[in-house]
Amino acid sequence: MGGLALRSRIYIMLAGFGGLLMGVWLMIVVTPRHAPADLNWPVVSVAKKVGPSVVVVINNQKIGGRLQMKGMGSGVILNRNGDIVTNYHVVQGADALTVVLADGHRFRARIVGVDPPTDLAVIQIRAHDLVPITIARSSQVQPGQLVVAIGNSLGLTHTVTVGVISASDRVLYRDGWQYHLIQTDAAINPGNSGGPLVNAQGQLIGINSSKISQSGIEGIGFAIPSDTVQMVSTQLIRYGHVRRPWLGVRLQALPHRALGMLVVAVAAHSPAAQAGLKAGDLLTAIDGRPVRRLRDVVAVLEHEAVGQRVELKVLRGNAVLTMTVQLQELPQRDQKSFVS
């Protein structure tokens, strides 16, 4: 009996040990062999991919007859020709610009062109082996999408912050301009300006531009959409400025948002003048879109190109007129409005 009991205990111990080995084997098979960061957190690979395309932009100004650093921002390499996009406010007033690459090499930069209305600028350096960023269409971004911001936050180079798209098309108005911006809760601080906002694939979807800095407010930053960046940077490289369509009228809203805006003045030799528009006319529609306020006109013109035609519906006295206007380039002396 004693031998039987001993053998039973041995069998039980062997069975338990076998179960333990089976459990360990199952854990090895089921547990991923890759680090969780590799599987679930793409930010590490995004930062490595995008990092070489991000530069420091130093604004140097003459103070007391000597060049001194006035400010610092970020920039993004667009192509192998050395074109770099940044914010206009990063380079504004500079007497000399210095660009520092991710590998630490420093270059003098020249301004190719600036566009204050969109707060964008293109500068250029003479360098080799540059790594241009890949650009995605900002029109396809969605609220809740993971985004990464990289820039020289507070002078700390290549700072990486993470967030989501809070709103894909936030419309803000300033100085008569209409801005379509991406809103994000990724931390954006002084020095981030001009740096990239990228998606989980490391593709540019925006250029970080500003944040709301008020006590008690956190996580509200804005980036210029990549579709705007591409349009503006292409024209700055090609023409040195952005060619915007010009109608050539001054408009005044009517009380209670009545249908139409009053034509207060028509610029001589402007597209509107050539089409026959006169002061005192009531502009009721543009390209089939009803006009109640200036934003309605701007919303149409900002998507048109120089040389294209738009149709105006006009009320003159009791007569309803239809006019076709061929848009000209907005004169550089007056970059305050698409309309005037």
Separation CA 94–CA 68 (nearest Å) = 10
**Any catalytic annotation for residue 269?**
no
Task: State the catalytic residue, choosing from 53, 153, 166, 193.
Answer: 193
Q: Which helix (H) or strand (E) holds 239?
A: helix 226-239
**Any catalytic annotation for residue 89?**
yes
Separation CA 238–CA 223 (nearest Å) = 24
70: β partners: none
Task: State the catalytic residue, choosing from 53, 89, 115, 166.
Answer: 89
Separation CA 85–CA 246 (nearest Å) = 26
**Any catalytic annotation for residue 193?**
yes
Separation CA 199–CA 148 (nearest Å) = 6
Give the three-state DSSP class for 308: coil
Q: Which helix (H) or strand (E) holds 324?
A: strand 319-326
Task: State the catalytic residue, choosing from 53, 74, 83, 119.
Answer: 119
Closest CA to 255 of 286, 281, 293: 293
Active-site positions read 89, 119, 193
